[in-house]
């Protein structure tokens, strides 16, 4: 049985019985205890049950960043913690970044806090996530994040970037062409995919090369984030495209 604390809310896994909240509410100093059954749909919305308390909005501190979010409306993946900081540390001074699938600012906020980018164009389709993205820009006192409510497929071509983050794992490869077309020569993409272990070293990079046409693609890193399901990994491919 596992639980995780996000801000002052406790999330129990489904191995807990619903009655376990009584003991846990005494032990942990939290205002709400919830179970999140799964995350559904393109907008990555939680299907949840409240076991204790009623408030689902909280502020989570991670890697020196503040993330306000409502756990009844938007997702939070604790397992992506290291990746959120890793990307921020790769961003060089003066870079223009596009954060496709920006959510509440999972990547944009750490980039704003830890790097010195010229601008981060953060595109998010879910109005609830976009609301918290705007809140988090204010909360962290950032001035170089440009939040955009819309579809990456439509909005990405409005920008050119030195670095593009593609932090979504459902059908991310459908967005590779639009991302690569907006990437400056010598720019870097961070492409997320859920991939069977035996295809990890081939399928994602082949998909990138297929959409890059005549441009040169250099594989920089395959970063294993976490096990997604039995035999399937959530990976991030860092690739430089000239």
Ligand X SMILES: C[S@@+](CC[C@H](N)C(=O)[O-])C[C@H]1O[C@@H](n2cnc3c(N)ncnc32)[C@H](O)[C@@H]1O
Q: Which of 5, 151, 209, 228 binds ligand X (CB under 6 A)?
A: 151
CA distance 122 to 137: 11
Site for ligand X in 32-51 (CB under 6 A): 42-44
Which residue, 77 or 144, has its beta carbon nearer to ligand X? 77
Q: Annotate each residue in 128-147 with x if it binds ligand X (CB under 6 A) or - if it does not, as one string.
A: -x------------------
Distance CA(139)–CA(133), nearest Å, equals 10
Q: Which is nearer to ligand X, 95 or 124 (CB)?
A: 124
CA dist 201 and 198 (Å) reads 7
The residue (of 56 and 77) whose beta carbon lies closer to ligand X is 77
To ligand X, the closest distance from the beta carbon of 212 in angstroms equals: 21
Site for ligand X in 44-103 (CB under 6 A): 44, 75, 77, 80, 84, 101, 103
> 52 vs 83, which CB is nearer to ligand X?
83
Q: Which lies closer to ligand X via its Cβ, residue 21 or residue 106?
A: 106
Asked if 204 touches ligand X (CB under 6 A), the answer is no
Q: How far is the CB of 74 from ligand X (least distance, A)?
A: 7
Q: What are the residues whose beta carbons fall under 8 Å from the beta carbon of 34, sequence distance 6 or more?
A: 9, 10, 11, 12, 48, 49, 50, 51, 56, 71, 72
Distance between CA atoms of 220 and 240, rounded to whole angstroms?
7
- DSSP codes joined into one string, 61-100: EETTEEEEEETTTS---GGGHHHHHHHHHHPPTT-EEEEE
The residues that touch ligand X, with contacts defined as CB under 6 A, are: 42-44, 75, 77, 80, 84, 101, 103, 106, 123-126, 129, 151-153, 167-168
């Amino acid at each position: 049985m596992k639980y995780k604390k996000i801000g002052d809310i406790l999330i129990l896994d489904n191995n807990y019985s619903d009655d376990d909240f009584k003991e846990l509410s005494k032990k942990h100093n939290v205002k709400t205890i919830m179970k999140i059954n799964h995350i559904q749909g393109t907008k990555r919305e939680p299907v949840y049950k409240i076991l204790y308390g009623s408030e689902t909005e909280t502020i989570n501190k991670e890697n020196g960043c503040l993330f306000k979010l409502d756990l009844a409306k938007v997702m939070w993946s604790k397992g992506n913690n290291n990746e959120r900081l890793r990307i921020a540390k790769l961003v060089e001074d003066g870079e223009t970044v596009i954060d496709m699938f920006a959510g509440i600012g999972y990547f944009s906020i750490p980039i704003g806090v830890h790097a010195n980018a010229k601008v981060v164009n953060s595109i998010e389709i879910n109005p609830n996530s976009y609301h918290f993205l705007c809140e988090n820009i204010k909360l962290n006192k950032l001035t170089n994040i440009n939040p955009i409510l819309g579809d990456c497929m439509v909005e990405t071509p409005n920008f050119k970037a030195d670095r593009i983050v593609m932090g979504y794992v459902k059908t991310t490869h459908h967005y590779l062409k639009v991302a690569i077309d907006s990437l400056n020569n010598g720019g870097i993409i961070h492409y997320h995919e859920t991939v069977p272990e035996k295809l990890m070293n081939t399928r994602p990079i082949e998909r990138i090369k297929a959409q890059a046409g005549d441009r040169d693609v250099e594989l920089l890193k395959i970063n294993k984030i976490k096990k997604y399901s039995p035999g399937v990994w959530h990976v991030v491919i860092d690739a430089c495209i000239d």
